[in-house]
Every structure is written in C-alpha cells, then in structure tokens.
Amino acid sequence: MKQYTVYFEIFNKKLKANVMAKSEEDAKQKIREKISFHKVEENQDEDWKNIEEMMKAMADVLGVKMK
C-alpha cells in the first residue's frame, strides 16, 4: 500500500484527501466510498441552503481540508 493524494471537485469546490491505497484507481474508489448520502428529498420550494455550508459539511464528512 502507498499513500496517495487525491484531488477532486464537488459543487465546483476543489478538495484533496490523503489515502492509503494499492493503486491510483483504488485511491479514487476509497474517496467515493467515504461519501454517505443520508437523505434525498424533493424540494418543495427554492429555499436552498448556502452552498458553502454544504461544502464545509462535505469536507468534514470526507475528512479533507478545503483550499
């Protein structure tokens, strides 16, 4: 196993995370596996949450630092 730094983007926000993996593809898969969907709801109105708050929450879930 080697340590990889994976650079990725969510909602146009560039993030990076360090993972231990067997290969580059395995490193990507480890990041995909860290994303947890808790709930998906249809929006009844256009009352969207602040994108930055969502990104901070995603970064916290993924354990990555935002640039």
Structure token pair of residue 26: 């395995």
Does some domain include residue 55?
A: yes
Is 27 contained in some domain?
A: yes
pLDDT single digits (tens) 22-49: 999 999 999 999 988 888 877 665 555 5
**How many domains does the chain fold into?**
1
Q: Residue 49 has what pLDDT?
A: 59
Write the CA distances from 65 to 47, 51, 60, integer angstroms.
27, 16, 8
Helices (H), the chain: 24-33, 51-62
pLDDT computed for residue 21 by the predictor: 97
pLDDT value for 67 = 63
Predicted confidence at residue 22, as pLDDT, reads: 97
pTM (predicted TM-score): 0.58
44 within some domain: no
Q: Is residue 42 part of a domain?
A: no
Q: Which domain holds residue 54?
A: 2-34+50-66
What value does the mean pLDDT of the chain take? 84
Domain membership flag for residue 6: yes
